[in-house]
Every structure is written in C-alpha cells, then in structure tokens.
Structure 1
Amino acid sequence: MKHSSREVFIIDDYQHVLVNELMSRSSEKSYDKFTDIGKHTWLILNTAGKLAENRRIYILAHTQTDDFGNIRMKTVGKMVDQVIIPESFFTIVLRATVNNGNYLFSTQTNGMDCCKSPMGMFSDTLIENDLKYVDDTICAYYGINKTKRVNQ
C-alpha cells in the first residue's frame, strides 16, 4: 500500500487472510504463530492508517457473534480479538445486513455491533449495499478529489 500509486485498496476478505496464515502454520505447536498473526494484522492496519488522506482502504471481513449477542469482525486468536481490536483502527465500520430482502449497510451501531461513521456522513442508518456509493459519500464528506480510476 505504501509503494502503490493507487488511491483505493480493497482487501476481500481479511478473515481469509488470517486463516491462510494460521493454516499454513498449523503444524507449529507454540503460540508464536498467534503472536505473528497479531503483529501482521497490526502492521497492515497501522500502515493503512498512515497513508495519505486521499487514499481509502476497504477491508471486508466476515462477522462473528459472541455468547452475549455482540457482533464484530471475525478473526483468529485472542491477540487480534482482545488486544488489537481491528474495528478500533477505523473511523468508519459498516456491516452488511438484510432488511426485508434488501441487502444494506448499517452505518451506526445498534448497541450490539461495532458499526460507526461520522455524524452527518450518511443520511440514514441503513444505506444501499454499494461500495461505490460508500466511496463517493466518503470522498464528498472529506472533500477528497479522485484523481484517477483504476479497474483492477
């Protein structure tokens, strides 16, 4: 991300990235692999946060529901869940939901999930499940001028 000229990055899906590292090291008996997964997650999230303001990183992931009904990003290992807490690195966290057969993004928490967005960014708590719409809205909100479009 640091060395690319692209403005937009989409990581789909991040949970799969975590599982790939975990399973490629499944024969290891120590907990070092979980420390490494935590460190690599932290490095990616930290790097994303240090990019220029006009660059947007969309990290897509599955969710999990805990025993208390709280919904958050699905990860592997306690270090990522309890120490790093991926959602805390972002100003905007949307969650896909289905409402009356319509696929939508939730923009604000319902008290049991980690959704959030700045006040006034989205006019509704449920918006169209459309990443282009989300990107356009973010750019308009922050005054980001898109310089080029890359279809890859």
Structure 2
Amino acid sequence: MGVAVLLIGKSGQGKSTSLRNFGEEEISLINVSKKPLPFQKKFKKTIETDDYNKIHQLLDKSSSDSIVIDDASYLITNMFMNKHSTAGAGNAVFALYNNLGDEFWRLIEHIKALPPQKVVYVIMHEDRSDFGEIKPKTIGKLLDDKVCIEGMFTVVLRCMADKGRHFFRTQTDGMDVAKSPFGMFEQFEIDNDLKLVDQTIRAYWGI
C-alpha cells in the first residue's frame, strides 16, 4: 500500500521550502493553493488544482514515486467557501460538513491504496485546539469530530522555526501531534529537508 505522510506548520515556517532539494523531475507537485514556490526551482510535473476528482486521477497516473499535495488545508477551505452560502441551514449544514470530511477521508484512503513505492506528502497548516494542542487546521469542531486527520497517518512531522533555524519535529512534545515509528528518525528535531525525509522513510520500510 502507499504511504501517506502528514506535514503541518504555521505559514512561513518552511513547509514548502522543505521541497527545495528534490530534483526538478523527481516529484509530482499538486499545488492546491496555486501560489509560487518560495525558491526559484520549478518542478516540471506540477498541477494546480483543488478538485478532488482531478487529484485522485493524478495520484493514479503519476509517474513519480514521491508526490506532494501543498497546501491540502485549502482542499477543505475552498470546498467550504464555495458551498456554505448555498448549503442552507440545519441538516444541510451538517450534510456539508459530512461531505467535507468524507472527501478528505477518501483522499487519504486513496493514497493508502496506491502501489507500495508511492509516498505522498500531505502538507497542511496547523491550528491550536481549545486544549492548547497543535493539530492540522480544518474548518472547526464539526469536521474535527468526524475525522481525526492526524490519526490517519503513521508519520506526522511538524515544521517549525526558531531563531532563523528551520526544522521538523519528529515526535510530540506533549502538545502537538507529531509522531513517527520507533527508530525511523534518530533525532527529535531534524533539518526541514523533505528529500532527506523521503530517503529515510524508504530506507526504514524497505520501499
């Protein structure tokens, strides 16, 4: 089965910048937010879309073993903004949130059904819950109650910056949802280099 990896972080913390060491033809990039990358390199296999159906097709047809969906938070946001004004009220609102959750759930399940050499990186913004826990950003409690996004991933990295240093956190500090299998990463914090992460994951699982 394919491997889904979640990467969360605040804006400007280096999530997209972590792609910088991949070769121009090495990955397929699904650019959901349709914004320029924060470096000059351009990936030749890049598609700009927030359409779930197109993304499912791209996942199946991609010739790349490493695929990046950046920023997947906007799959939820854009769908909500496009449909909430016509959803009505009452049960129709709950139906909209159900649909939002269903579509994202199907996407992650689709990734897991890909061939075993496929590793898909799902990049999202982070948010803070009422209890102070750092988690993927969605559209509020109604969606969070339906889908625990981080629970669908074995590897969740948190992208952070401190005094000009950008890094990934590989395990939780007790207040975020970062996690990785025992022994996959030797350090609690690693350089924000997604190519290095890709190599590490493939070596760990023998992909």
Matched, 1:140 2:172: no
- Say whether the 8 Å CA contact 1:38–1:79 is kept in structure 2: no
- Segment drifting more, 86-95 vs 5-14: 5-14
Give the structure, 1 or 2, with the largest relative contact order (CA under 8 Å, sep 6 or more). 2
RMSD over aligned Cα atoms: 1.4
CA distance, structure 1, for counterparts of residue 140 and residue 128 of structure 2: 15
Residue identity (%) = 38
CA distance, structure 2, for counterparts of residue 90 and residue 79 of structure 1: 20
What TM-score comes out, normalization by structure 1 length? 0.88
CA apart distance, 1:54: 1.1
- Segment drifting more, 2-11 vs 48-57: 2-11
Matched, 1:19 2:77: yes
Q: 1:88 to 1:57 in 2, by over 3 A?
A: same
CA distance, structure 2, for counterparts of residue 7 and residue 76 of structure 1: 31
CA apart distance, 1:121: 0.8
Count of residue pairs the alignment pairs up: 144
Q: Indicate the residue corresponding to 1:87 in structure 2.
A: 150
What TM-score comes out, normalization by structure 2 length? 0.66
- Say whether the 8 Å CA contact 2:67–2:119 is kept in structure 1: yes
Matched, 1:38 2:101: yes
CA distance, structure 2, for counterparts of residue 90 and residue 80 of structure 1: 17
CA apart distance, 1:79: 4.4
1:93 match: secondary structure: strand
2:76 match: secondary structure: helix
Q: What one-letter code is carried by the residue in structure 1 that aligns with 2:103? A: H
Instruction: Give CA-to-partner distance per residue, 1:88-131, whole Å, 9 cap, x none.
Output: 11110000111332010000000111100011111101000011
Q: Give unpaired runs (5+ residues) of structure 2.
A: 1-58
Matched, 1:10 2:68: yes
Q: What one-letter code is carried by the residue in structure 2 that aligns with 1:50? A: A
